Amino acid sequence: MATDVKVPVLGESITEATLGEWLKQPGDAVEADEPIASLETDKVALEVPAPEAGVLGPLQVEVGDTVEVGAVIATIEAGNGSAAKAAPAAKAEAAPAPAASEEPAASMTLSPAVRRLVLEHGVDPSKISGTGKDGRLTKDDVEKYVKSGTSAPLVEKGAATGAEAPAATPAAAGGNRNEERVRMTRLRQTVAKRLKDAQDTAALLTTFNDVDMTAVMETRSKYKELFARKHGVKLGFMGFFAKAACLALKDVPAVNAQIDGEEIVYHDYVDISVAVSAPNGLVVPVIRNAEAMSFADVENTIGDFGKRAKDGTLTMADMKGGTFTISNGGVFGSLMSTPIINPPQSAVLGLHRIEKRPVVMPDGSIQARPMMYLALSYDHRLIDGREAVTFLVRIKEAIEDPTRLLIDL
């Protein structure tokens, strides 16, 4: 007797999702609670576990289909996977199987984003070591493999495949001009809508400052080994900036507030949203009550977010709320940016890469110092320019003299 695989409860007020990828195929043996599919909601990707052990039966939906909570997407049948592959749903049978040269490593399970990178760079995914959950490939895996220079291109279409090559099309003088259309994920559609809404609603403005990272870098160098031994986590830069932001938000509460209709809501707590890279894009989990946390608490929380983002196990609750955002584009090499606020929040702090630049010191000498540009984008309807500048000055003071973080100055 077959058991239905249903779309699980997705979270508060979430009634539907998009089928992101099948992690198992018809005829594959599955264990109870083993992930067999990935669903994409407006904020996170969720895995659908097998309700019991057996063999995955016909698939009822295809990648890209929208499914509602409780909908049947497949069945689990009795067996151990040794039987012939189960036939896919009629909907899938109608689609012709892609040629081997068009769909690299068809036996591998690749997310749409990873598949797009594989096709774009013409690499063989079977030669790349996956670091995602259950050894699956992530975008970072493919990008690192390409940058390493060890990638070998796949066989081009129609070349030594045993299949008749299609009629040749005159090539443009500049080379191939291929195009590919890929449906936007539900997460990317939501991000696009929210960012555009922020631009249309808020009076966005960005102010800049720079900060000398010498003191923080010296503090990290001096205490990083002791910190790691005691707390089991590395001492990073985000801990310093999160604690500095808590002090600055206390001094300039408007930056930690939000507009609700004709009212301003001020928060006496600090819930910091931090941008974290995930296989399907950036996600923004929340460090709650950051003002009451130690450096170790902040670093442990961020490290846990990063790991769970990579594994795809972040939940809707992890990203709900937030009163202020910190986005670190410096990890990707960004020198300067104008980040967009995360509604209904009113401000976002952008961090950037550290590089040595000549700085005139108080004694008139010129020294090469490790400098970072800071950017604060804010809603000018609520936050005045004076408040925005004051906030960044408070951040600068705390980072250039970390003792202030200990004595609450």
pLDDT at 88: 43
pLDDT above 70 covers a percentage of the chain that reads: 81
Q: For the domain 203-407, what is the CATH code?
A: 3.30.559.10
Could you tell me how many residues make up the chain?
Answer: 409
Which residues does 206 contact at the CB level (< 8 Å), separation at least 6?
338, 339, 375, 376, 377, 378
pLDDT in tens, 83-98: 434 444 444 444 444 4
Catalytic entry in 33, 197, 251, 384: 384
Residue, of 346 and 275, whose pLDDT is higher? 346
H or E element in which residue 258 lies: strand 258-260
Which tokens belong to 155? 């066989």
Residue, of 34 and 166, whose pLDDT is higher? 34
Domain edges within the chain: 3-147, 203-407
pLDDT at 409: 63
Amino acid identity of residue 177, one-letter, is R
Identify the band that residue 281 occupies on the pLDDT scale cut at 50, 70 and 90: low
pLDDT in tens, 314-323: 887 888 889 9
Average pLDDT, the chain: 81
- Contact 32/50 with Cβ under 8 angstroms? yes
pLDDT in tens, 291-328: 999 999 999 999 899 888 887 788 878 888 899 999 99
210 labelled catalytic: no
Residue, of 114 and 283, whose pLDDT is higher? 283
- Tell me which fold the domain 3-147 belongs to: OB fold (Dihydrolipoamide Acetyltransferase, E2P) (2.40.50)
SS (H, E, C) 345-369: CCEEEEECCCEEEEEECCCCCEEEE
Question: What pTM does this model have?
Answer: 0.64
Q: Which of 125-134, 153-162, 254-263 has the lowest mean pLDDT?
A: 153-162
pLDDT above 60 (res 151) = no
Catalytic entry in 33, 197, 380, 401: 380
Asked, colleague to colleague, whether 3-147 and 203-407 share their fold, the answer is no
Which tokens belong to 258? 């939000």
H-helix segments, 122-213: 139-147, 186-201
CA 399/CA 377 separation, integer angstroms? 19
pLDDT in tens, 189-234: 777 888 788 888 889 999 999 999 999 999 999 998 999 999 999 8
pLDDT at 116: 67
363 labelled catalytic: no
Q: Which residue has 């096709």 as its token pair?
A: 119
Amino acid identity of residue 251, one-letter, is D
63: phi then psi, degrees, rounded to nearest 5? -60, 130
- Contact 325/363 with Cβ under 8 angstroms? no
